[in-house]
Structure 1
Amino acid sequence: MKRLLFIFFFCCVLIIATFLMFGDLEQWMAVNLHSEKSIATYTCLSFSFMALDTLLPVPSSLLMILNGKILGLFWGTLMSWSSSLLASVFGFYLGRSANPYFDKFFSGQDKAFSNNFFQKFGNLAITISKALPILSEAISFVAGTTAISFKTFLLYSSLGHLVVSVIYAYLGNFSNTINSGLVTVMVIVSTVIIGWVVQKILKYKQKETNT
């Protein structure tokens, strides 16, 4: 367990430090995306910024709302979903690449416990984390350091990002006034419910296959 906690807090500290160091970059992104640009230029900028969310302090919720407002519900959702999923995949492979270095500081027993713990609760954690800044990047990295398969990570990341992308794109496309607190609650609750339902369905199907 201490292995997972160490890696998780290490990632969180690293991400927060990046936000503090490049705070002006977040403001620059917001200003440039709000300025008058062609759809093609906006699309390239938005996709690039969100795909780099693992490394840079990207205002992802703002971008997803703007995607819905500027590109519409369908294309806004597709843009947010594909770019944020790419960022998560990048974070996963960063964790997988760094895994041998973390293993040097922990025993095989602790590694086995971490793998088992993440096997039980990691799927839902991956899904829910996509609704929360910092946690999304941290959980993606942590997942890469465990034995979870890329296929499983991709499935639950896709699900979590899809829920978040649809809600933000919808709000950007149809809402004139947005209550950020209410939006956050909506995104988290929806992600938790859908992630839980999908996990139950997959476990039920697995039991049927084994019997």
Structure 2
Amino acid sequence: MVLIFISALLAWWYIPAVHAFIDRSVSAFLALDPHEIERFIHSYGRLAAVVSFLLMILQAIAAPLPAFVITFANASLFGAFWGGLLSWSSAMVGAALCFYIARVMGREVVEKLTGKTVLRSVDEFFERYGKHTILVCRLLPFVPFDPVSYAAGLTSIRFRQFMFATGLGQLPATVVYSWVGSLLTGGTFWLVSGLFILFALTIVIVAAKAFYQERQKRKS
């Protein structure tokens, strides 16, 4: 895993094509525009599915880039079923990669990738739900996907258990996002996307408030 990670960094530094691909990918992500992601993936023609797969892995490592924009783009390009399958399988590989990066490189590296505050929030889920944390977090739409994978790698959970819970827990959201993404276009697409983002932000704020109040109770 360390060799793969170093190889990827060297490729990004010394190979212009790899450097350009990552720069364009990050730019598309930061625009938070699913249609921009879709155009970017579609521009690679027959390699579009491979590019989408690599994008999902890139967003997994570079948390907290949003994964739902790729899921929407996959559904629009490849249909609800094949797009959903592509999103689900690539997210599984990304989760496995995050898990092993954390297990091999330790907490200090994970904190730099996710941020200390985010990682502490995920740690509280592990303290509360124990061995069921992975499944619970995957089923909750407001819990960030990738920090959970990193945090799991810092625990004693077995890789097999982690992957089973991840695959099962992320399936409902993948199905919903893929179905919605395959149906919506134009203004309706942006309306529903905005509602998804608003809903997620609302739940995040409520959850953060609940965590803060619970922490204050513990201190008092």
- Taking the aligned partners of 1:173 and 1:26, their CA distance within structure 2 comes to 20
Q: Are the equivalent residues in 1 in contact too, given 2:75–2:182 (CA < 8 A)?
A: yes
Amino acid at match of 2:134: N
Question: How far did 1:148 drift?
Answer: 1.2
* Selected match of 2:193 from 163, 172, 180: 180
* Selected match of 2:47 from 5, 16, 41: 41
Number of residue pairs matched? Answer: 154
Question: How far did 1:72 drift?
Answer: 0.6
Judged with a 3 Å threshold, the aligned counterparts in structure 2 of structure 1 residues 143 and 73 are, in CA distance, closer, same or farther, namely: same
TM-score, reference length from structure 1: 0.59
Gaps of 5+ in 2: 1-24, 110-124, 204-220
* Selected match of 2:138 from 127, 139, 157: 127
Amino acid at match of 2:48: Y
Q: Which has the higher contact order (CA 8 A, sep 6+)?
A: 1
Question: How far did 1:153 drift?
Answer: 0.8
What pairs up with 1:108-119 in 2 under 5 angstroms? 119=130
* Selected match of 1:69 from 69, 76, 94: 76
Amino acid at match of 1:122: T
- Taking the aligned partners of 1:27 and 1:116, their CA distance within structure 2 comes to 32
Moved more, 46-55 or 22-31: 22-31
Judged with a 3 Å threshold, the aligned counterparts in structure 2 of structure 1 residues 99 and 115 are, in CA distance, closer, same or farther, namely: farther
TM-score, reference length from structure 2: 0.57
Gaps of 5+ in 1: 1-21, 103-113, 190-211
| Percent of aligned positions that are identical | 25
What pairs up with 1:91-170 in 2 under 5 angstroms? 91-99=98-106, 119-128=130-139, 131-132=141-142, 135-170=144-179
After superposition, the CA RMSD in angstroms is 3.5
Q: Are the equivalent residues in 1 in contact too, given 2:44–2:51 (CA < 8 A)?
A: no
- Taking the aligned partners of 2:29 and 2:54, their CA distance within structure 1 comes to 13
Residue 24 of structure 1 aligns with which residue?
A: 27
- Taking the aligned partners of 1:26 and 1:160, their CA distance within structure 2 comes to 24
SS for the counterpart of 2:60 is coil
Question: How far did 1:54 drift?
Answer: 2.3
Residue 52 of structure 1 aligns with which residue?
A: 58
- Taking the aligned partners of 1:51 and 1:40, their CA distance within structure 2 comes to 19
Q: Are the equivalent residues in 2 in contact too, given 1:33–1:42 (CA < 8 A)?
A: no
